[in-house]
């Protein structure tokens, strides 16, 4: 079991308290307002609008030619041009359950996309019993998707619109790693006979890797890699080590960052650092034998969403830092690390006043964020000087 988690209360760590960055005064340009400028601990940055008019954008993926794919939760996939213009919705997506937290969710390019044009996306799929998160692959043909294949369906499908997750990444082993929510059925996160509240590991054709930890067991689904997760909405591969990191929502407190290891139990809802929305206790406490402690948790909750390691050269002081969006605090969390040890944190963009849904490390060396609203935006963070 890992050592005690790095704890944060009201956004300030006990290990190292960092100053909260405040927006600096920006001088308007002659033709239009200048991008807002923020002075942070180690850099002064501005936030430039790349695209507007997106309805609840959920995820971004950068195309090799400099354009961007963006999912909209109501069930649309858009192409954002280099000039910020939005394409019409890409055609031939499958039916999407767009209700509550459900909809079109993550999107990711295959490592061989330049030649294969293959991409992956997750979405809430309607069906008997309600809906469940699904993973599909398709070939991107510019204005439409071709050869759409559903590679995985979370079982069982359930009524309600909460806790679909989800994120997908290619791990260091070339496999697909998916993070799912427990559909607000707490105890199912501990049930190895269902996919709720689990990390799933698949071959890129959707088949089950022979070395998954529960292969061959009659009491467990072979696709499961780890379990005891609540609602995973951030997942990223570390750029140096290749290890997969994730974050998941707590209830009232107890948002967690974890590194999902083979066959491990991450505790929900038996252990948590948070409490129920009513204030009632959940489970047996914050720790138990055989259950993993998070690398970091936020109490109170920041409602994390989106996650990226910054590897660019545009803001050198941030290189190697982890960035996590916040849905309820309207800010971007910067986490400074020494390996897997959290050194300190900094709250960024606190004056932006927008829910941050996704965070991506851009191929041009900038950091990008997507804001979650009916008039959502894609924003680029760049040095102000």
Give domain limits for the chain. Answer: 6-383
- Mean model confidence pLDDT for the chain: 92
- Residue 261, classified by CB atoms within 10 Å of its CB into exposed (0-12), middle (13-18) or buried (19+), is middle
Confidence of residue 19 (pLDDT cuts 50, 70, 90): very low
Give one DSSP letter per residue of 62-104, joined into a string. Answer: E-TTS-EEEEETTTEEEEE-TTSPBPPPPB-PPP---STT-SE
What is the value of pTM for the model shown? 0.92
- Cα 36-310-362 angle, rounded to 5 deg: 70
Q: How far apart are CA 47 and CA 367, in angstroms?
A: 10
- Please tell me the predicted confidence (pLDDT) of residue 10: 35
- As annotated, the active-site residues are 163
At 115 the three-state DSSP class reads helix
Q: Reply yes or no on whether the pLDDT at 9 is more than 80.
A: no
Q: Which residue has the higher pLDDT, 29 or 306?
A: 306
- Please tell me the predicted confidence (pLDDT) of residue 351: 87
Q: How far apart are CA 332 and CA 325, in angstroms?
A: 5
- Please tell me the predicted confidence (pLDDT) of residue 32: 53
- Architecture of the domain delimited by 6-383: 6 Propeller (2.120)
- Cα 222-161-125 angle, rounded to 5 deg: 55
Q: Is the torsion defined by CA of 174, 175, 180, 186 positive or negative? A: negative
Of residues 217, 200, 122, the one with CA closest to residue 166: 122
Q: Reply yes or no on whether the pLDDT at 11 is more than 80.
A: no
Q: How far apart are CA 64 and CA 112, in angstroms?
A: 11
Q: What is the pLDDT of residues 302-338, one digit of tens each?
A: 999 999 999 999 999 999 999 999 999 899 999 999 9
Q: Reply yes or no on whether the pLDDT at 261 is more than 60.
A: yes
Q: Reply yes or no on whether the pLDDT at 18 is more than 90.
A: no
- Please tell me the predicted confidence (pLDDT) of residue 223: 98
- Residue 255, classified by CB atoms within 10 Å of its CB into exposed (0-12), middle (13-18) or buried (19+), is buried
274 DSSP 8-state letter: S
Tokens matching residue 344: 């300190």
Q: Reply yes or no on whether the pLDDT at 3 is more than 80.
A: no
- Please tell me the predicted confidence (pLDDT) of residue 16: 31
For range 176-200, the mean pLDDT = 98
Query: Is residue 140 within 8 Å of 121, Cβ to Cβ?
Result: no
Query: Is residue 47 within 8 Å of 352, Cβ to Cβ?
Result: yes
Q: What is the pLDDT of residues 267-300, one digit of tens each?
A: 999 999 999 999 999 999 999 999 999 999 999 9
Q: Reply yes or no on whether the pLDDT at 14 is more than 70.
A: no
- Please tell me the predicted confidence (pLDDT) of residue 30: 40
Q: What is the pLDDT of residues 92-140, one digit of tens each?
A: 999 999 999 999 999 999 999 999 999 999 999 999 999 999 999 999 9
Confidence of residue 23 (pLDDT cuts 50, 70, 90): very low
For range 348-362, the mean pLDDT = 95
Confidence of residue 385 (pLDDT cuts 50, 70, 90): confident
């Amino acid at each position: 079991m890992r050592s005690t988690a790095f704890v944060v209360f009201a956004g300030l760590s006990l290990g190292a308290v960092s100053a909260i960055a405040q927006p600096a005064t920006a001088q308007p340009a002659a033709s239009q307002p200048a991008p807002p400028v923020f002075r942070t601990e180690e850099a002064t940055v501005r936030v430039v609008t790349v695209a507007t008019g997106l309805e609840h954008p959920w995820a971004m993926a950068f195309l090799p030619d400099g354009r961007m794919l963006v999912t909209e939760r109501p069930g649309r996939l858009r192409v954002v041009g280099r000039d910020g213009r939005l394409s019409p919705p890409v055609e031939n997506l499958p039916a999407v359950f767009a209700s509550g937290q459900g909809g079109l969710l993550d999107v990711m390019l295959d490592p061989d996309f330049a030649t294969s044009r293959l991409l992956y996306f997750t979405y809430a799929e309607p069906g008997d019993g309600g809906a469940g998160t699904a993973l599909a692959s398709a070939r991107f043909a510019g204005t439409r998707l071709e050869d759409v294949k559903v590679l995985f369906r979370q079982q069982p499908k359930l009524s309600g619109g909460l806790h679909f997750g989800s994120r997908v990444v290619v791990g260091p082993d070339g496999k697909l790693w998916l993070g799912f929510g427990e559909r607000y059925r707490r105890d199912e996160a501990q049930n190895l006979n269902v996919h709720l509240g689990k990390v799933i590991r698949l071959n890129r054709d959707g088949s089950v890797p022979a070395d998954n930890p529960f292969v061959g067991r009659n009491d467990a689904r072979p696709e499961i890699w780890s379990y005891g997760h609540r609602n995973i909405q951030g997942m990223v591969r570390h750029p140096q080590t290749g290890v997969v990191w994730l974050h998941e929502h707590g209830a009232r407190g107890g948002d967690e960052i974890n590194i999902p290891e083979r066959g491990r139990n991450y505790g929900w809802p038996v252990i948590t650092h948070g409490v129920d929305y009513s204030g009632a206790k959940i489970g047996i406490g914050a720790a138990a034998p055989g259950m993993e402690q998070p690398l970091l948790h936020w109490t109170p909750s920041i409602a994390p969403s989106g996650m990226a390691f910054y590897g660019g050269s545009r803001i050198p002081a941030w290189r190697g830092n982890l960035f996590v969006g916040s849905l309820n605090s309207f800010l971007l969390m910067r986490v400074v690390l020494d390996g897997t040890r959290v050194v300190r944190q900094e709250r960024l963009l606190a004056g932006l006043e927008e829910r941050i849904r996704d965070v991506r490390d851009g191929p041009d060396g900038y950091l990008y964020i997507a804001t979650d609203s009916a008039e959502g935006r894609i924003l680029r963070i760049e040095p102000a000087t």
